């Protein structure tokens, strides 16, 4: 985005935030229409499941509706939305891990544990057909690196944000964001090396 | 050597496989589903508590706890009935303690 376009976008964002805070009719629908893809794509990149990503996207907009009045405008509206989306996605992951841990105990008590039948590999719908297989391996490796690195990498590569924007969303310095993306790439390379070496040894 | 080169190439290919990725789009009518969610009645604390308590795992755990407590009391009572010597010892010790207390009280009285 050039400076002029960014200025226009910021103005319209501020205008929309004002409309939302005043509870103007149609403002919420406009916000959903404008930002649904952004929120869904971010959440999908983190949790790698389409049905769950959609569910969390709904949760994000419900929270926006309920707490937009408390939004002070310290950051851009889209930055605030990204933060909510990431927090919700990470919370979901924590819940999922907790459920997995208790599933064994629940099955001992005879209670029907909720099945977490995730497909073995995730295919992002936005990846080109010829790259699907390689991207699935990359997404699998992405699941194995630390959370903050994963978020930074997702925002950078899947959402196409620069380090400045990542820093604003994650509430860290520019250099910290740059370092996170770099470390994510290094760790991904390690995971991919292990994967491909294992594959060739088979 | 050849193998390493091959692996490096595969890693590079995997990393560049998401270059030019397009944004994923949610299913249509997302706004309708969000509105439906917003219109859902909010559950009260007691409704949530009832749901939690009536979960089979919680019910079974509570029942187990209750049975264990009962079993503990039962074992304690049975062992004292089956072993009167222990009961006698407990009584004797209690009597002795009582005697010592009364003696001390008397002694204290005389000193005054």
Residue-wise pLDDT for B25-60, tens only, equals 999 999 999 999 999 888 888 988 998 888 888 999
Q: Of A112, A118, A100, A185, nearest to A145 (Cα)?
A: A185
* pLDDT tens per residue across span A29-74: 999 999 999 999 999 999 999 999 999 999 999 999 999 999 988 8
* Closest to A143 (Cα-Cα) out of A83, A90, A73, A104: A90
The rounded distance, in Å, linking the Cα atoms of A15 and A21 is 10
**Separation of alpha carbons A180 and A106, rounded Å:** 38
C-beta of residue A85 within 8 angstroms of C-beta of residue A39: yes
Selecting from B10, B13, B26 the residue whose C-beta is nearest the C-beta of A57 gives B26
Q: Does B37 touch chain A (CB under 8 A)?
A: yes
The residue among A135, A195, A200 with the most chain B CBs within 10 A of its CB, best to mutate, is A135
User: Mutual orientation of helices A174-201 and B2-16 as an angle, nearest 10°?
Assistant: 130
* CB-based contact B17 A134, cutoff 8 Å: yes
Q: 3-state class of A10 per DSSP?
A: helix
Cα separation of A68 and A14, whole Å?
A: 12
DSSP A127: S
Q: Where are the alpha helices (DSSP H) in chain B?
A: 2-16, 30-38, 45-53, 56-82, 84-111
pTM exceeding the 0.80 threshold for the entire prediction: no
Give the position of tokens 């509206």. Answer: A77
Assess contact for A152 and A45: CB atoms under 8 A.
no
pLDDT in tens, A157-167: 999 999 999 99
Which one has a higher pLDDT value, A117 or B103?
A: B103
Residue A175 sits at the vertex; the CA angle it makes with A169 and A180, to the nearest 5 degrees, is 70
């Amino acid at each position: 985005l050039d400076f002029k376009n960014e200025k226009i976008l910021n103005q319209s964002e501020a205008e929309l935030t004002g409309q939302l805070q005043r509870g103007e009719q149609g403002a919420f629908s406009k916000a959903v229409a404008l930002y649904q893809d952004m929120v869904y794509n971010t959440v999908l990149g983190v949790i790698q499941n389409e049905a769950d990503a959609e569910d969390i996207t709904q949760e994000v907009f419900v929270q926006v509706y309920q707490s937009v009045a408390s939004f002070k405008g310290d950051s851009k509206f889209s930055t605030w939305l990204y933060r909510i989306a990431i927090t919700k996605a990470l919370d979901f992951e924590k819940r999922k891990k907790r459920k997995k841990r208790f599933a064994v105990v629940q099955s001992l008590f005879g209670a029907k544990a909720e099945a977490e039948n995730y497909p073995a590999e995730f295919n992002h719908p936005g990846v080109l057909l010829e790259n699907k297989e390689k991207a699935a391996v990359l997404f699998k490796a992405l699941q194995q690196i630390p959370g903050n690195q994963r978020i930074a990498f997702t925002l950078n590569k899947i959402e196409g944000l620069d380090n400045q924007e990542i820093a604003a969303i994650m509430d860290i310095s520019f250099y910290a964001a740059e370092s996170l993306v770099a470390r994510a790439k290094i760790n991904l390379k390690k995971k991919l090396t292990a994967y491909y070496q294992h594959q060739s040894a088979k | 050597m050849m193998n390493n080169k091959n692996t490096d190439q595969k890693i590079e290919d995997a990393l560049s496989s998401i270059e030019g990725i397009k944004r994923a789009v949610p299913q249509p009518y997302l706004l309708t589903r969000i509105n439906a969610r917003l219109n859902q009645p909010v559950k009260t604390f007691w409704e949530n508590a009832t749901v939690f308590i009536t979960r089979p795992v919680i019910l079974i755990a509570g029942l187990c706890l209750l049975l264990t407590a009962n079993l503990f009391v039962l074992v304690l009572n049975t062992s004292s009935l089956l072993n009167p010597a222990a009961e006698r010892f407990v009584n004797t010790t209690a009597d002795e303690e009582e005697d010592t207390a009364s003696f001390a009280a008397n002694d204290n009285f005389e000193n005054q």
